[in-house]
């Protein structure tokens, strides 16, 4: 059954991250996911997304992330790219492997050809590193992140491994696990917390993740996802709307509505994966890679990674789009 997952993108500022990303350049390309030849402007993101996924790591047997998620971007969506902070790169190993490898794996991440800001080509150079946390719920790893700098515009960007969401210290696998338990499996907070690793995040953090996902995925991204699904296949059968009964425990109408939309987002995201996989059979992602997949997908469309969105947090940008 295919739950997807894969790559991720990021935007906004997170943690100590302070890069930006978006962009475009002109070119013709073959869309490996739709089988169509596309021409015209490629967003900066599409450009930078390209190198991210080559899973050859021995620990990744059977996992094949897309070599690129190149998807055309409708004209009306071009030019509204936000200021992205981070370029997400696929890393096929574990957090531990990333943290302990010498030299650190980000050192070998491909430097994008095109600057996400000014679109200058071949002007990006490696520009030092910075450290940040990657928390698994069991171990807190301090990892190094590669910076790159554009010699044309002077801006710096970072190449973030895709086991992290740009706005969160905890690894994205744990974020996905929590959302899945609450939204799909229907667990209440107490049972949900019992399923998490020790010491793990506290319940207030976990609740905030669910609320942020409801807002980001359910409120901000659901309509866009539907639009893209219909663009891929106008005859696609969308799941019935309606909230699962376990969401009845949420009395607040606004919260309930967002959770319901987030629930549908999740189902449709799985459908998106199935659609893309049908066009690119080499695409194979494990069930726990749904959110990374979506991050890379958003990145390929030059959209920010609004999967978890909480305007109240200082680690997320103030503007949604």
Per CB under 5 A, residues contacting Zn ion are 115, 117-118, 120, 150, 152-153
At its nearest, how many Å lie between Zn ion and the CB of residue 24? 12
**171 pairs with which residues across the strands?**
164
At its nearest, how many Å lie between Zn ion and the CB of residue 298? 21
Let me know the angle formed at the C-alpha of 126 by 131 and 106, rounded to the nearest 5 degrees.
Answer: 50
> Which residue number, 49 or 179, has a Cβ lying nearer to Zn ion?
49
At its nearest, how many Å lie between Zn ion and the CB of residue 20? 10
User: How far is residue 177's CA from residue 185's CA, in Å, rounded to a whole number?
Assistant: 10
User: How far is residue 98's CA from residue 141's CA, in Å, rounded to a whole number?
Assistant: 9
At its nearest, how many Å lie between Zn ion and the CB of residue 164? 24
Q: How far is CA 86 from CA 1, 108, 161, 303, 317, in A?
A: 31, 17, 10, 12, 12
At its nearest, how many Å lie between Zn ion and the CB of residue 120? 5
> Which residue number, 120 or 226, has a Cβ lying nearer to Zn ion?
120
SS3 content of the chain, % helix, strand, coil (to 5): 35, 15, 45
Q: How is residue 120 annotated by DSSP?
A: -
Closest CA relative to residue 70, chosen from 87, 88, 53, 47: 47
Query: What token pair was written down for 232?
Result: 């891929």
At its nearest, how many Å lie between Zn ion and the CB of residue 299? 17
> Which residue number, 50 or 167, has a Cβ lying nearer to Zn ion?
50
Query: Read out DSSP for 200-247?
Result: ---HHHHHHHHHHHIIIIIIIIHHHHHHHHHHH-TT--PPPPS--GGG
> Which residue number, 120 or 250, has a Cβ lying nearer to Zn ion?
120
> Which residue number, 157 or 167, has a Cβ lying nearer to Zn ion?
157
At its nearest, how many Å lie between Zn ion and the CB of residue 250? 45
Burial (CB count within 10 angstroms: exposed 0-12, middle 13-18, buried 19+), residue 79 = exposed
> Which residue number, 19 or 117, has a Cβ lying nearer to Zn ion?
117
> Which residue number, 46 or 55, has a Cβ lying nearer to Zn ion?
46
């Amino acid at each position: 059954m295919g739950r997807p997952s894969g790559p991720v993108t990021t935007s906004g500022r997170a943690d100590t991250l302070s890069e930006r990303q978006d962009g475009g350049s002109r070119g013709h390309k073959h869309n490996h996911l739709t089988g169509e030849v596309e021409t015209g402007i490629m967003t900066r993101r599409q450009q930078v997304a390209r190198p991210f996924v080559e899973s050859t790591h021995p620990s990744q047997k059977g996992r094949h992330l897309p070599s690129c998620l190149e998807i055309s971007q409708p004209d009306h969506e071009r030019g509204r790219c936000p200021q992205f902070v981070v370029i997400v790169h696929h890393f096929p190993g574990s957090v531990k492997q990333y943290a302990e490898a010498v030299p650190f794996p980000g050192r070998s991440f491909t430097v994008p050809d095109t600057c996400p800001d000014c679109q200058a080509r071949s002007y990006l150079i490696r520009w030092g590193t910075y450290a940040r946390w990657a928390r698994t719920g069991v171990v807190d790893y301090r990892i190094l992140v590669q910076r790159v700098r554009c010699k044309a515009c002077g801006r710096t960007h970072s190449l973030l491994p895709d086991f992290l969401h740009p706005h969160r210290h905890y690894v994205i696998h744990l974020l996905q696990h929590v959302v899945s338990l609450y939204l799909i499996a229907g667990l209440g907070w107490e049972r949900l917390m019992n399923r998490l690793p020790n010491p793990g995040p506290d319940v207030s953090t976990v609740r905030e993740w669910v609320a942020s996902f409801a807002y980001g995925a359910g409120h901000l991204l659901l309509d866009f996802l539907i639009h893209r699904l219909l663009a891929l296949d106008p005859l696609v059968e969308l799941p019935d709307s309606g909230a699962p009964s376990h969401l009845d425990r949420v009395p607040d109408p606004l919260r309930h509505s967002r959770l319901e939309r987030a629930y549908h987002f999740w189902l449709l995201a799985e459908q998106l994966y199935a659609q893309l996989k049908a066009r690119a059979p080499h695409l194979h992602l494990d069930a726990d890679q749904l959110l990374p997949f979506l991050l890379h997908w958003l990145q390929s469309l030059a959209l920010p990674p609004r999967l978890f969105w909480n305007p109240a947090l200082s680690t997320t940008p103030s503007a949604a789009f």
